[in-house]
Amino acid sequence: VEKGTPGFRVGEKIEVIGIRGSHPNEVILDNVFVPDENRVGDEGIGFKIAMETYDHGRLGVAAQAVGTAQAAFEKSLQYSIQRHAFEKPLISFQAVQFHISEMVTLLQAARLLLYWASYLAMKERPEAVFAASMAKLFATEVAEKIALKAITIHGGMGVATEGMVERFLRDSQVFKTYEGANDIQKLVIMRQMMKHAFGMDIT
């Protein structure tokens, strides 16, 4: 739909808790006429096309989540090396070591799952739908877990807006919600698994 089309307008900006650089807005369509040359695909299959775009969009969300988790991990590792308590760097305390170890393990697992799902999508394999939902579900939940650990490691600075750590947690909440909420991903995973493994439709 071209800008300036009668009946099409951009509504109010939606204020969100995370990924604030995206500037989402309402899109209002009021009796908008779309000419044939502007139509994507054949008439009547718009919903199918929209659902197919989710499979690629979910990989993008998973990639954002992995990047956010990477940033939270790196910031936490650097802070734990530089910050001292009781005349020792934080990294020397076992509790912090446990957090850092869990963070890097979760991060690498999410990254490898994303790579696998992306490979299947590139090869246009039928299980790519299943894999994209798995990558989105796991990577976004990993981003949240790593962000929470980052806040714990940073202590008081972790909840301070100027510390930049709480931003990772806010962003992770958006990742879990858009391109299909994570509970939706669980349904997609289950339905696709039953379809490919047993030929069953459990919708």
Question: Among all residues, which ones are annotated catalytic?
Answer: 179
> Strand 88-89 to strand 84-85: parallel, antiparallel, or no bridges (unpaired)?
antiparallel
The long-range contacts involving 32-38, CB below 8 angstroms and separated by at least 24 positions, are 32/1, 32/5, 32/6, 32/7, 32/8, 33/5, 33/6, 33/7, 34/1, 34/5, 38/1, 38/2
User: CB count, 10 Å around CB of 81?
Assistant: 13
CA nearest neighbour of 8 among 32, 26, 24: 32
| CB-based contact 182:141 (threshold 8 Å) | yes
Query: In angstroms, rounded to a whole number, what is the distance separating the alpha carbons of residues 150 and 75?
Result: 8
What's the chain's Rg over C-alpha atoms? 21
